[in-house]
Structure 1
Amino acid sequence: MGWVIQRTAHDGKIRHTAMFRDPYGRTRSAGTFATSREAERAAGRQDDSVANGTWIDPAAGRITFQEYAEEIWLPSRHLEVTTRAGYQSYLRNHFVPYFGHMRLARIMPSTVQAWVTQAVGLGLSPRSIAKYHVMLHSVFARAVRDRMIAFNPCENTELPKVVLAKTRILTPAEFESVLAAIPARFQALLLTDIETGLRWGELVALRPRHVDFLRRTITVQETIVEVSKKDSPTGQRMIVKPYPKNDQPRTLHVSQALIDILAARIAELGLGRDDLLFPSREIADGDPLSRGTFNTRFWRPAITKAGIDFPLRMHDLRHAHASWLLAGGADLKSVMERMGHAQIMTTQKYLHALPDADQKALAAFESVRRRGGS
């Protein structure tokens, strides 16, 4: 229970200080008042907040955003290597320069809104701003749970509208043009990707032991993540992880033609079971192939040479794989498992990405209508 301490001020007047005990049993002051009744009410309010778990230590909010985010929030998270590296990059490049010196308790919804306005002015895309805001919201949500602040200033932030652009899927003919334009040493890489739909990290982590030549399958058991050295927990830029995304290895059936191509590659390079199939240099026991190096030196020049007139990433071969499967009549569940998606909603988006999806829908409607009228 709270209590009141009376004392005589320098002017001879009686002052009443409200006292209470915080959740840790420490004696605290709830302020000094002119009357005992006001002091009792103040002490009672603090007692109530301690009892119902809503009490906030005013001193806790004095910690700066940078101190809390880097020393408390980030170390407490259980994150994938790439996610942690991304968060460190976001803090360094987007949040610490703006919020770093501010005390947590002084950051208001208007402060966060001002950051959004600045980000828009700097040319950040609405999608990027929304992604960064999710992380910022998480930082403040943890601070609320830690009783550092009373509310999350990221609630109800007005974010720029994300306009979803219609996905342009690579056609088989366009893929053949890109394949012809890429240097011969990377053709097996592209053929493997278009037939399996692997993510980049899964693709460059493939080794001969992952290929079953009798059953004509490829098993995805590893992935290689590429991070900045300054954000890497080991100081290494290429990190091999034992399992791909979602921690679920998966086995994919492939064509005999691709099996023959991979077998020829293994024999030509003299690769051992544990060597990388697609190393940075065409040698056994080579280092992992860097996505950035591949994109700059080989992929983009090939796209230009092939005459592709829309933005095309290497990752879009994965999208093409899924769309071609669905266009050919594969069911959603099979495609979901082949792609390694955790949710079928992710796979469904490729139904709407097909260039003739609308025409097929209209044809199905007309077919049903004709049957009903006959």
Structure 2
Amino acid sequence: MARKSRTLTPEEFDRLIAAIPEQHRLMVQTFIETGMRWGELIALRPRHIDFLRREVTVEETIVEVSKKHSPTGERYLVKPYPKDNEPRTFGMRQPWLDAVAAHIQSHDVDRDDLLFPTKAGTPISRNTFRTRVWLPAVKASGVDFPVRVHDLRHAHASWLLSGGSDLKSVMERMGHAQIQTTQKYLHTLPGADQKNLDALDRISTRPW
């Protein structure tokens, strides 16, 4: 029998982010704040962020390929549109915008530079990040299930729905082509069913 999937809770994320090395912490926080796919996250640049409107636009993704399968010989290919071929724009919270603005200033990041590159200025390899940063942090955090990097995207959608966001807006934010994909994230946090019971208590007038 397949293991039932778990959703990372906000409390577990707090433990996990505390175990992430400082230089990668904002990137991981961006992952949970945006729910982006990995390729979209590592393709993020300052020009994709509108600080006045407090919005981010996802319009590129970076794909990692073997050099022999690359038409240009490059290891990373920048594609102008993410999955489902549709750019999307969504709002961001002010504390994240402030943290990114400080990061851009302190690291002298130009408008078209990658926001979270390697020291050499290249995109971060997913496998390298997983083995050198992610897995050690998961172990150190004491979170009691094998959290994957992609689980942050799942957690983002689950947290939004648990917090009261509607399916349509979460679908658009996540870049899902079908609303059925978004529906998978309903009622995935512990205690979700208790909210249903609380709702019945609020609406019902008949005493037992």
Q: TM-score range by the shorter chain?
A: over 0.9
| 2: CA distance, partners of 1:164 / 1:339 | 26
Provide the residue aligned with 1:316 in structure 2: 151
Matches within 5 A, 1:76-155: none
| 2: CA distance, partners of 1:211 / 1:196 | 12
Pick aligned residue for 2:13 from 175, 186, 209: 175
| 1: CA distance, partners of 2:175 / 2:160 | 14
Matching residue's letter, 1:301: P
Local SS of the residue matching 2:52: coil
Greater displacement, 355-364 / 207-216:
355-364
Matching residue's letter, 1:193: F
Quote the RMSD (CA, aligned, Å): 1.9
| 2: CA distance, partners of 1:367 / 1:268 | 49
| 2: CA distance, partners of 1:359 / 1:233 | 53
CA contact (8 A) 2:9 2:189 kept: no
Provide the residue aligned with 2:107 in structure 1: 269
Matching residue's letter, 1:257: P
Provide the residue aligned with 1:214 in structure 2: 52
Q: What 5-or-longer segments of structure 1 have no aligned partner?
A: 1-162
Matching residue's letter, 1:330: S
Please report how far the alpha carbon of residue 358 of structure 1 lies from its aligned counterpart in structure 2 after TM superposition: 2.9
Q: 1:353 and 2:188 equivalent?
A: yes
Q: 1:325 and 2:163 equivalent?
A: no
CA contact (8 A) 2:162 2:187 kept: no
Matching residue's letter, 1:315: H
Pick aligned residue for 1:299 from 106, 130, 134: 134
Question: Aligned pairs, how many?
Answer: 208
Local SS of the residue matching 1:239: strand
Report the structure number with the largest CA radius of gyration.
1
Please report how far the alpha carbon of residue 363 of structure 1 lies from its aligned counterpart in structure 2 after TM superposition: 4.5
Local SS of the residue matching 2:89: strand
| CA deviation map 1:25-46 (0-9, x unaligned) | xxxxxxxxxxxxxxxxxxxxxx
CA contact (8 A) 2:32 2:152 kept: yes
| CA deviation map 1:173-204 (0-9, x unaligned) | 11111111111011110111111101000000
Matches within 5 A, 1:246-261: 246-261=84-99
| 2: CA distance, partners of 1:244 / 1:171 | 27
| CA deviation map 1:318-344 (0-9, x unaligned) | 111111111110000010000010000
CA contact (8 A) 1:213 1:259 kept: yes
| 2: CA distance, partners of 1:347 / 1:249 | 18
CA contact (8 A) 1:168 1:355 kept: no
Matching residue's letter, 1:318: R
Please report how far the alpha carbon of residue 360 of structure 1 lies from its aligned counterpart in structure 2 after TM superposition: 3.0
CA contact (8 A) 2:49 2:56 kept: yes
Provide the residue aligned with 1:199 in structure 2: 37
**TM-score computed with the length of structure 2 as normaliser:** 0.93
**TM-score computed with the length of structure 1 as normaliser:** 0.53
CA contact (8 A) 1:341 1:347 kept: yes
Provide the residue aligned with 1:190 in structure 2: 28
